[in-house]
Structures are given as structure tokens and as C-alpha cells.
């Protein structure tokens, strides 16, 4: 692999042992994937934050790297933690978990990372431009960066993203190369797409069919997904098929700018979402928690919840996870008051997949997220109901899932 003088010097340790270790990781990955060179990145999104996911070994790894002097050299944002970093006591998070979680975020802070704690960094200031090279981890964020923003990133792991943030480089392979961004699967989606859950169910079904190919969607005339719909579609595909890039005809930037369709692309037809709903939805009636905000909710989604609640009192817990800056925007528009007035809660900083839910006596969850459903089952072993935001709100009001 060709390295610049500066990169070689970093590999020899001219920026200290922490930066040398980071450069070794970046170069090793490049060699594994056959990269010819490294590419500078303009931003990084680091995953591996929730203490429930990384555990004590992860915390020690991060603290040690920070103590060695690891410092980021490009703007770097952070994935969600396993709890609200400020309101964890009110939410009943056990103290031992909380203190370890705070140590994790402190290690990242020491490295110079913005403690944004969100999987939607693009909603809170980290929004790369078309064709910009970045190194992001977190599957739904990667999908959004590549597909909706037209930036270029592979699906980095936590340590490789962190290494990219410390070196300002990533190996140039995979989705950093134009030829790998071509679509080889056409999805003719003739099904009705009315809600975020519909886009999530579609994404879930398509993810299972991609077999490492970039999908290209043709939607019904008149269906024009906005940022929230694309966020839901990409997150579900990332969960069920590790899809890091997709195109939507006439909607996503690369599909509008050039011919992204390979001549030998296979075509599949999706006429109904029934299969997606059937695989995602469970049968549990009693629900301990209704979760909206996977990926983290936008202001528009929060407003939709407040409107649907319409001042009604809740019988089940309702948590909306969102970036703290989005929570603050919701506060200034009095959406928080409207939601909390009903008994709901906007939880900042957190993803429930790494949260200590069982310690909070939560064993059944309702959500409108295909990705959330997938991981609540596989990581947390919980019972999950999957449906539209409206169904989820009705469930929170009734205290049980309604048929």
C-alpha cells in the first residue's frame, strides 16, 4: 500500500504510541481489504459506547488508549450510550451501570470526541456533503451517510472508526470506490408505503434478499420518501442484511446524478409488506415499554407523537430516544411538556439495545422500528410488538397492544 510521508511517520510513531497504534490499525485493515492507499476523512462517527455492549474489557481498552495520549484530529461524534447521561437516576438506571457508563464517555471526551451520543449525527451537526469521505460506524448512520447524503464510508467497527479519528485517515476500499457503489439489485416496490413502519418493514424484507448487493428502489408514482422515511428504510436494511448503501430512483443524490444501475442487476418485486410485518411483529399483549426513536427521533417524529397523544394519559411507559440537541429543540417548542404531561418521556443520549432493561423490569416492548425489533430480540431476548407510530401510541395509552 502506498503511504504518504506523513502517514509513514505516524506509523513510525512520530505522533506518539497512541497515534502509532491507530495508524497500525488503519494500515492493517487496508492490507486485509487490498486498499492501494489511505484517504483523508472529514468526520468520524464512533460506535462502541454503551457499557452494556462493550463491558468492562471495552472500558479498559478505551481508558488505556486515552491515557496513552490518543486524540482525534477530525470532528468526531459519538454513538448512543446505554442511558440518558443526565437523567439516569430519574429513569431508575442502576448506579453501578451508570458509573461505568460515565467512565466510558469520559474516556471518549478525553480523546477530544464530541459527546453527542446519537445514532443520528446528521441531525445534530455532523452532516457530510456529497462525495465527502468519512469513517462512520453504526449501521443506520452509515446507511444514511452513504445513501441519503451521498458521502462515502464503509461500515466501520468501533475501534477502526476510532483509529480513523486519531489518524484522520481510512483505507480506500469498498464504498470509498465509485465502482462499488453501483446497484446490482432492483427493487420494484409496488406495495403501499404510508408510515415509517411500512418503510421499516420494506427495508427488513429487502435486507434479507440483497446478498451483499447494493439495492436500487423504484417506488410507486407519488411516493416520495423524506429524511425520516429513508432513515427507517436504511436502518431496517442495515439490521436484516448489513446494507450500507442503497439508492432510490429520483430521490437519493447519486441516483439523481448518474446512472448507478449495473446492466446485469437482478429485479425483484415487492407487492405486499405482509411478510415483513409477520416476521417483525410478535403476539404479546401486555407491554412494559413503548419505544419510538430507533434510529434516534427527529423533531418531526417527536411532534407526531405529541399530536397523536393529544393530551391523553398513558398506562404504559413511553420513551422516545433522541439526540440531546433534538431534545433541547423539542423543549423549546414545548413538545417535551406535551409528552411529559401525558406521562411519556424523551430520553436523550440512549439506545435501548445496550440499556439495562431487565433490571428495570422491562421484558416486552412495542416499537415502530424494524431495527429496534431485530436487536431487542437478538441482544436483549425481549418480546416485541412491531407496528406504526400510531399503533405504538395507542398501545401506550391503553397499556396493552390493541389488535
The β-bridge partners of 135 are 44
Q: Distance between the two ends of the chain, CA-based, in angstroms?
A: 59
Question: Which of 217, 216, 146 is closest to 184 using CA atoms?
Answer: 216
CB of 49 to ligand F3S, least distance (A): 9
User: Quick one: 19 or 104, whose CB is closer to ligand F3S?
Assistant: 104
CB of 243 to ligand F3S, least distance (A): 14
124, 31 in Cβ contact below 8 A? no
User: Quick one: 317 or 371, whose CB is closer to ligand F3S?
Assistant: 371
User: Quick one: 154 or 167, whose CB is closer to ligand F3S?
Assistant: 154
CB of 39 to ligand F3S, least distance (A): 26
Q: Which stretches does DSSP call E strand in 209-288? A: 214-219, 247-248, 261-270
205, 275 in Cβ contact below 8 A? yes
CB of 31 to ligand F3S, least distance (A): 30
User: Quick one: 126 or 182, whose CB is closer to ligand F3S?
Assistant: 126
User: Quick one: 50 or 364, whose CB is closer to ligand F3S?
Assistant: 50
As given in the structure block, the three cell numbers for residue 244 are 450500507
User: Quick one: 145 or 351, whose CB is closer to ligand F3S?
Assistant: 351
CB of 238 to ligand F3S, least distance (A): 8
> Any idea what DSSP says for residue 152?
B
Say how far apart CA 13 and CA 49 lie, in whole Å.
Answer: 27
CB of 91 to ligand F3S, least distance (A): 16
Query: Using a CB cutoff of 8 Å and minimum separation of 24, what contacts does 376-384 make?
Result: 376/352, 379/53, 379/353, 379/354, 380/352, 380/353, 382/357, 383/282, 383/284, 384/280, 384/281, 384/282, 384/284
CB of 121 to ligand F3S, least distance (A): 11
As given in the structure block, the three cell numbers for residue 123 are 441531525
Rg (CA), the chain: 21
CB of 264 to ligand F3S, least distance (A): 32
The pairing of strands 345-348 and 317-322 is: parallel
Say how far apart CA 190 and CA 56 lie, in whole Å.
Answer: 48
User: Quick one: 336 or 367, whose CB is closer to ligand F3S?
Assistant: 367
Q: Residue numbers of the site for ligand F3S (CB under 6 A)?
A: 79-80, 119, 138, 140, 235, 294-296, 321, 351, 353, 371-372, 375
User: Quick one: 30 or 354, whose CB is closer to ligand F3S?
Assistant: 354
Place of cell 397492544: 401
Amino acid at each position: 500500500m502506498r503511504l504518504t510521508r506523513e502517514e509513514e511517520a505516524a506509523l513510525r510513531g512520530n505522533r506518539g504510541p497512541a497515534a502509532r497504534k491507530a495508524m497500525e490499525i488503519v494500515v492493517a485493515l487496508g492490507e486485509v481489504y487490498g486498499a492501494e492507499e489511505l484517504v483523508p476523512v472529514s468526520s468520524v462517527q464512533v460506535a462502541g459506547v454503551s457499557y452494556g455492549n462493550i463491558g468492562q474489557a471495552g472500558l479498559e481498552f478505551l481508558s488505556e488508549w486515552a491515557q496513552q495520549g490518543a486524540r482525534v484530529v477530525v470532528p468526531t461524534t459519538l454513538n448512543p450510550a446505554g442511558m440518558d447521561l443526565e437523567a439516569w437516576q430519574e429513569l431508575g438506571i442502576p448506579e453501578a451501570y451508570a458509573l461505568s457508563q460515565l467512565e466510558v464517555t469520559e474516556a471518549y471526551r478525553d480523546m477530544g470526541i464530541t459527546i453527542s451520543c446519537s445514532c443520528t449525527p446528521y441531525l445534530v451537526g455532523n452532516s457530510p456533503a456529497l462525495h465527502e469521505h468519512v469513517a462512520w460506524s453504526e449501521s443506520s448512520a452509515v446507511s444514511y451517510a452513504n445513501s441519503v447524503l451521498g458521502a462515502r464510508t464503509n461500515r466501520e467497527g468501533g475501534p477502526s472508526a476510532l483509529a480513523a479519528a486519531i489518524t484522520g485517515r481510512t483505507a480506500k476500499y469498498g464504498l470509498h470506490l465509485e465502482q462499488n457503489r453501483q446497484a446490482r439489485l432492483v427493487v420494484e416496490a409496488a406495495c403501499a408505503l404510508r408510515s415509517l413502519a411500512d418503510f421499516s418493514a420494506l427495508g427488513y424484507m429487502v435486507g434479507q434478499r440483497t446478498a451483499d448487493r447494493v439495492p436500487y428502489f423504484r417506488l410507486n408514482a407519488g411516493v416520495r420518501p423524506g429524511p425520516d422515511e429513508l432513515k427507517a428504510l436504511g436502518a431496517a436494511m442495515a439490521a436484516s442484511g448489513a446494507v450500507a448503501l442503497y439508492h432510490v430512483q429520483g430521490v437519493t443524490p447519486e441516483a439523481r446524478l448518474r446512472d448507478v444501475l449495473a446492466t446485469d442487476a437482478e429485479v425483484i418485486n415487492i407487492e405486499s409488506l405482509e411478510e415483513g410485518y409477520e416476521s417483525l411483529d410478535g403476539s404479546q399483549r401486555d407491554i412494559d415499554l413503548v419505544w419510538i426513536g430507533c434510529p434516534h427521533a427527529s423533531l418531526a417524529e417527536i411532534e407526531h407523537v405529541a399530536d397523536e397523544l393529544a393530551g391523553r394519559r398513558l398506562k404504559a411507559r413511553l420513551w422516545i430516544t433522541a439526540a440531546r440537541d433534538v431534545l433541547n429543540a423539542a423543549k423549546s417548542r414545548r413538545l417535551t411538556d406535551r409528552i411529559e404531561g401525558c406521562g411519556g418521556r424523551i430520553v436523550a443520549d440512549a439506545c435501548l439495545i445496550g440499556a439495562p432493561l431487565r433490571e428495570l423490569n422491562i421484558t416486552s416492548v412495542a416499537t415502530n422500528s424494524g431495527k429496534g425489533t431485530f436487536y431487542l430480540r437478538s441482544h436483549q431476548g425481549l418480546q416485541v410488538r412491531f407496528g406504526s407510530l400510531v399503533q405504538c401510541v395507542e398501545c401506550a395509552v391503553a397499556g396493552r397492544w390493541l389488535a
